[in-house]
Amino acid sequence: MEILDEMQKVFEEKFGAEKTRAYFSPGRVNLIGEHTDYNGGHVFPCAISLGTYAVVADREDAVSRVYSMNLADKGVIEFPMTGLSYDKAKDWANYFMGVVDVFEKAGHKAGHGFDIVINATLPGGAGLSSSASIEVLMALVLNEAFDFGLSMIDMVKLAQKAENAFVGVNCGIMDQFAVGMGKKDHAILLDCNTLDYRYSKIALKDASIVITNTNKPHSLGSSAYNVRRAQCEHALNQLREVKPELRALGELSNEAYNKIAGHITEQLERQRARHAVFENNRALEAVAALEKDDVETFGKLMNESHFSLRDDYDVTGVELDTLAEIAWSVPGVIGSRMTGAGFGGCTVSLVKNDAIAVFKKEVAEKYTARIGYAPSFYVASIADGTHRI
Ligand code: GLA
């Protein structure tokens, strides 16, 4: 593979000639079911062929050195394999360090460090889970090197913990799950309340999944994300006063929610909870439609997901709204919505193959005219989860 040959050269320049092995860890795009994972609802993501490649060698001592070809200006970053805590100066290496740390705390202590070169074909910080891609990658490197015998789901959970406890983003499990458990040509219907999941074949006859990146400079998404999460938790606690057995918003039908919504005192929190409940049910309805080959209904529900994320959850912003609005106006677009946490990042659109060229042209022109800089496009193919190459 050309990319690995180039990486091997860089590896030798940075670390010398050692015996290396290679890995790939995908990014993910969520088709529907947004901001439902931490509300005990369903998500429907897939792993994509854009991701992170790694070339890895064992070291004898308890230090790791990591280098990203995408962030060459950060140089080689070094960290010990024990007693770690978040260190801003170590920048992106915190995602590796976080995984090492949660593994250690779970009793899976690394016996030595690694030299690692990574090269991502995935844009960073664009809502396509570049961080989960790196975290699950590190989990697999550790699991293989030290024969910890962890299943991919165990690794996924530890990778999420690294993001929550070490990096400090209170994310749900969707990203790490999609990255680790992805399957070529399939999306994953995951119940985040129980972690029950199944694969659903995505066989779009004459359409493709097109990801459009707002290219919005990195926003302060993580604090707003944590606020949404806290609002939903507070709303859930208020609903429990009348429905003590309720474990998560994802357990409610729309009707059941409407009956008890009045017990949430804050209007804003009622909106947040309504999104969580309706989006979960919408995701289930959408998957059922897709499995009956009713792509049109799936697309319509994608659009409704965007409305709800815009109006009730307030996580879209002018860039994502502009992308979605332009997409909706292009003939041949079956559906379009923001994907991931929001506040910037990407939209996901289902576009008829013969309309993709016009779609790109229209969206690029109108978005650039309104926002002042251009979007980027990726026609996604659905890939396998994190693996050794
Ligand atoms: C981010 C988080 C996920 C999920 C999405 C929104 O990607 O990491 O856990 O909550 O936002 O659906």
Residue type, 288: A
Alpha-carbon gap, residue 285 to 153, rounded angstroms:
26
User: Which helix or strand (DSSP H or E) is residue 365 part of?
Assistant: helix 356-371
Report CA(172)–ligand 1 centroid distance (Å): 6
Ligand 1 atom closest to the Cα of residue 33 is 12
Question: Residue 333 burial (CB < 10 Å; 0-12/13-18/19+)?
Answer: buried
Residue nearest to atom 11 of ligand 1 (CA): 341
Alpha-carbon gap, residue 204 to 83, rounded angstroms:
48
Q: Render 127-165 in DSSP notation, one character per residue.
A: SS-HHHHHHHHHHHHHHHHTT----HHHHHHHHHHIIII
Alpha-carbon gap, residue 21 to 19, rounded angstroms:
7
Query: Quick check: CB of 37 below 6 Å from ligand 1?
Result: yes
Query: Quick check: CB of 34 below 6 Å from ligand 1?
Result: yes
Backbone angles phi, psi at 293, to 5 degrees: 65, 20
How does DSSP classify residue 121?
A: S
Alpha-carbon gap, residue 316 to 190, rounded angstroms:
23
Query: Quick check: CB of 101 below 6 Å from ligand 1?
Result: no
Alpha-carbon gap, residue 108 to 332, rounded angstroms:
51
175 three-class SS: helix
Alpha-carbon gap, residue 324 to 334, rounded angstroms:
12
Residue pLDDT tens, the chain, 389 long: 899 999 999 999 999 988 999 999 999 999 999 999 999 999 999 999 999 999 999 999 999 999 999 999 999 999 999 999 999 999 999 999 999 999 999 999 999 999 999 999 999 889 999 999 999 999 999 999 999 999 999 999 999 999 999 998 889 999 999 999 999 999 999 999 999 999 999 988 899 999 999 999 866 567 899 999 999 999 999 999 999 999 999 999 999 999 999 999 999 999 999 999 999 999 999 999 999 999 999 999 999 999 999 999 999 999 999 999 999 999 999 999 999 999 999 999 999 999 999 999 999 999 999 999 999 999 989 999 999 99
**Token output for 119:** 């090269």
pTM listed for this prediction:
0.97
Residue nearest to atom 8 of ligand 1 (CA): 171
Query: Quick check: CB of 279 below 6 Å from ligand 1?
Result: no
Alpha-carbon gap, residue 37 to 174, rounded angstroms:
6
Residue nearest to atom 9 of ligand 1 (CA): 172
Alpha-carbon gap, residue 149 to 345, rounded angstroms:
35
* Residues known to be catalytic: 175
**Token output for 321:** 């709204």
Query: Quick check: CB of 35 below 6 Å from ligand 1?
Result: yes
Backbone angles phi, psi at 336, to 5 degrees: -155, 140
The number of angstroms, rounded, from the C-alpha of 389 to the middle of its chain's C-alpha atoms is 22
- Beta strand pairing status for 63-68 and 77-80? antiparallel
Ligand 1 atom closest to the Cα of residue 132 is 8
Query: Quick check: CB of 38 below 6 Å from ligand 1?
Result: yes
Tokens 């990195």 locate to 218
pLDDT in tens, 54-85: 999 999 999 999 999 999 999 999 999 999 99
In 3D space, the residue among 327, 364, 374, 329 whose CA is nearest the CA of residue 349 turns out to be 327
Q: Render 305-351 in DSSP notation, one character per residue.
A: HHHHHHHTS----HHHHHHHHHHHHSTTEEEEEEESS-SSSEEEEEE
Query: Quick check: CB of 26 below 6 Å from ligand 1?
Result: no
Instruction: State the angle between helix axes of 152-161 and 174-181 in degrees (0 to 180), rounded to the nearest 10.
Output: 150
Residue type, 81: M
Residue nearest to atom 2 of ligand 1 (CA): 171
Count of other CB atoms within 10 angstroms of residue 167:
17
Report CA(33)–ligand 1 centroid distance (Å): 10
Mutate to test the pocket of ligand 1, among 31, 35, 176 (most ligand atoms within 8 A of CB): 35
Query: Quick check: CB of 315 below 6 Å from ligand 1?
Result: no
381 three-class SS: coil
Q: Which residues contact 320 (CB under 8 A, 6 or more apart)?
A: 214, 306, 338, 342, 344, 345, 347
Report CA(288)–ligand 1 centroid distance (Å): 22
Ligand 1 atom closest to the Cα of residue 127 is 7
